[in-house]
């Protein structure tokens, strides 16, 4: 099985030795993303709503670079440092997945990189079963 590294300049930068996403076996595996502004690389987290929206916008950009979309997501992992903010995060999340949302887990974390209040990772299917090396 081949694999292809995927990245997008329309998503926040990575903070270490990992890829934004890897396409393999008909899936796109997105690393956890922080609410980083793609233009500045700075954390956008004045509220959990803003942070959630930026994370999901970054993931949408990565998926589009892979020839996929948020509608193709099958599993999402949300990491939050304050689970009391879950309802507010959930309201923003629902706007990005209005119909047939993916499976999801939300995990409380004591701390996240760069002091972020949230990090989101996901796996999506490739459109039309596109394989690495194929251009969607």
Question: Is 3.40.50.720 the CATH number for 3-129?
Answer: no
What is the 3-state composition of the chain as percent helix, strand, coil, each rounded to the nearest 5? Answer: 30, 30, 40
Mean pLDDT of the chain: 93
Residue 135 has pLDDT above 50, yes or no: no
Classify burial at 118, counting beta carbons within 10 Å of its beta carbon; exposed 0-12, middle 13-18, buried 19 or more.
Answer: buried
Tokens at residue 97, please? 């997945």
Residue 25 has pLDDT above 50, yes or no: yes
């Amino acid at each position: 099985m081949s694999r292809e590294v995927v990245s997008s300049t329309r998503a926040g930068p990575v903070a270490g030795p990992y890829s934004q996403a890897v396409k393999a076996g008909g899936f796109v595996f997105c690393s956890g993303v922080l609410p980083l502004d793609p233009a500045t690389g700075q954390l956008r987290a004045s509220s959990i709503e803003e942070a959630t929206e930026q994370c999901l916008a970054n993931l949408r950009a990565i998926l589009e670079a892979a020839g996929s979309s948020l509608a193709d997501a099958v599993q999402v992992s949300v990491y939050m440092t304050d689970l009391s903010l879950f309802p507010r995060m959930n309201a923003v999340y629902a706007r990005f997945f209005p119909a047939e949302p993916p499976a999801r887990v939300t995990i409380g974390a004591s701390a996240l990189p760069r002091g972020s209040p949230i990090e989101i990772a996901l796996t999506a299917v490739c459109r039309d079963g596109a394989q690495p090396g194929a251009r969607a």
